[in-house]
Amino acid sequence: MSFLHLWTLLVGLLCVDSSQNKTQEIHVTCLVGERCILPCLLPSSAPQKLLWFRQDSLILSLSSDLQTLRDPNDSLAGRAALADPTLAKGNASLLVRDSAPRDRGRYRCSARTEAGDRNQEVIVKVQAPIRSLSMELSRLSGFEEIKCSVRNVFPPPRVTWSTEPPTFHSLQPLTRKQLEGSGLYEVDSRLRTLGQKDLIYICTATSPYSDKSWSASYRHRDLRGSEGKDLTLPCFAPSYLNSQTLSWTFSNSDAPKHILTYSVQSGEAVSSQEWAGHVELDGLRVQFGDGSVRLMDPEEEHHTGMYSCVFSTQRSTHTETIEVTISGTGKRSAPEDPSYWWVVGLIVAILVVAVVVMLVYLKIRGGATKPKSDPEEATELHPVKDSGADSPLATGGTNGQSASALT
């Protein structure tokens, strides 16, 4: 046998021996506010003595007469007890109620039994998992930025940003993690917008205790429409998101109002009575990521404001906000202020027709009743006939005398 093989065998024996003498170690993750079991199983059901430690502090002691002792000043006082006080089947596990971040650390279960002493260590991690991730547009800092927020978490998650489509600009978010009095964290991450239209901003939060992550994405649009003219409000889910639910809300300085909710699984849409006659959704398109709605017969006063469209899954949301301005320059006439110009036009047309009829009448009547001239006056006006037969001068008479008298 070579020296190398002998050395390998000795190292293996030492490792096996050390692993047999090593205290068993178990990792447990407790959820904030819930019950948590710290396991400890014994080879016999009747330990002579049982001790539970946190770090090096004794938190529970159980002797053969089943008397327990606890430090009343310990943070676990009143919240920690044996999961099975009878220790049936050797179950010496510790039950911790209403878990909190301060409960994390190293625990040790030490028992003396007929088979000998047994020690077991439990490494406790406490987690307040991410329940939701929200995004919104903010202009409070003097410029436009996207804010990604998560509340009541422990430990604080790692937050990263990306865009769709990808951009060559460097993303430089500002992330703030604040520890609240409850021992939980509030995390806000802000990213200044890049000024590109139709760009989707994606925020991803990942907990250190889990490889599962939450994501939220956001896109903002501005849209203008005319009163009385139908308007399409666009809303499209990003390519990576297979949504389960779509919801629309509206706000114009008041609390957001529910417009409709659509379930992809059931294919049913539930809309509020106030908006039932003003919005129309194509459910078939929603299954392909198109949640656009048609705003019908909009009014400037009631439909100008911020519309929000949200696609959601179990751990992802996509929000699109549309700032809609409805102007009153459309063809709609406000019912409370009717127009009377048609009355004025009608009166003017009637007057014009009356004047024309009167002029025609006067012209016709004037031609029919024109007075005839006096006969004598008409004779004087006639030209004198120059006839040789009838004129006295034609016979050669002079001074009114006849020709016979002259002879």
Q: What is the largest CA-CA distance in the chain?
A: 205
Place of tokens 């430990």: 155
pLDDT of residue 69: 59
**CA 70, chain centre distance (Å):** 52
Strand pairing of 36-38 and 94-96? antiparallel
**∠ CA 263-267-270 to the nearest 5 degrees?**
60
* 149 vs 218: CA distance, rounded Å: 13
Q: In what order do the strands lie in the sheet with 257-263?
A: 158-164, 200-206, 213-226, 316-327, 305-312, 245-251, 257-263, 268-271
pLDDT of residue 392: 42
Asked whether the beta carbons of 274 and 258 are under 8 A apart, the reply is: no
The three-state DSSP-derived secondary structure of 349-372 is: HHHHHHHHHHHHHHHHHHHHCCCC
The candidate with the shortest Cα–Cα distance to 289, out of 309, 274, 305, 307, is: 309
CATH number of 130-211: 2.60.40.10
For residue 165, CA distances in Å to 174, 202, 382 come to 22, 10, 107
Asked whether the beta carbons of 270 and 260 are under 8 A apart, the reply is: yes
pLDDT of residue 188: 95
Tally of CB atoms within 10 A around 125: 16
Place of tokens 């009838």: 390
For residue 383, give the DSSP letter.
P
Tokens of 123: 């490494």
Asked whether the beta carbons of 127 and 31 are under 8 A apart, the reply is: yes
Prior bond to 173 cis, omega within 30?
Answer: no
Which residues touch 207 (CB under 8 Å, ≥6 apart)?
Answer: 127, 129, 130, 153, 155, 157, 213
CATH number of 219-332: 2.60.40.10
Per-residue pLDDT of the chain (407 residues; tens, 9 = 90+): 443 333 333 333 333 343 334 567 899 999 999 999 999 988 766 678 889 999 888 888 887 655 565 666 678 888 888 898 888 788 889 999 999 999 999 999 998 887 788 899 999 999 999 998 999 888 876 788 999 999 999 999 999 999 999 888 889 999 999 999 889 999 999 999 998 888 999 999 998 887 789 999 999 999 999 999 999 999 999 888 887 899 999 998 778 899 999 998 888 889 898 898 889 999 889 988 999 999 999 999 899 999 999 999 989 999 999 999 999 865 544 444 555 677 778 888 888 888 888 888 888 877 665 555 454 444 444 454 554 444 443 434 444 443 443 33
* 90 vs 81: CA distance, rounded Å: 15
The candidate with the shortest Cα–Cα distance to 214, out of 264, 290, 299, 157, is: 157
Tokens of 391: 């004129």
For residue 304, give the DSSP letter.
-
- Where along the chain do its domains lie? 22-127, 130-211, 219-332
For residue 78, CA distances in Å to 69, 70, 75, 123, 165 come to 12, 9, 8, 21, 54
Same fold flag, 130-211 and 219-332 = yes
Query: What amino acid is encoded at 147 in this protein?
Result: K
Asked whether the beta carbons of 118 and 42 are under 8 A apart, the reply is: yes
For CA atoms 382, 387, 389, 394, the dihedral sign is positive
* 45 vs 384: CA distance, rounded Å: 166
**CA 249, chain centre distance (Å):** 7
Which residues touch 258 (CB under 8 Å, ≥6 apart)?
Answer: 247, 248, 249, 272
pTM for the whole thing?
A: 0.68
Sequence length of the chain is 407
Asked whether the beta carbons of 118 and 101 are under 8 A apart, the reply is: no
Give the fold, CATH level 3, of 22-127. Answer: Immunoglobulin-like (2.60.40)
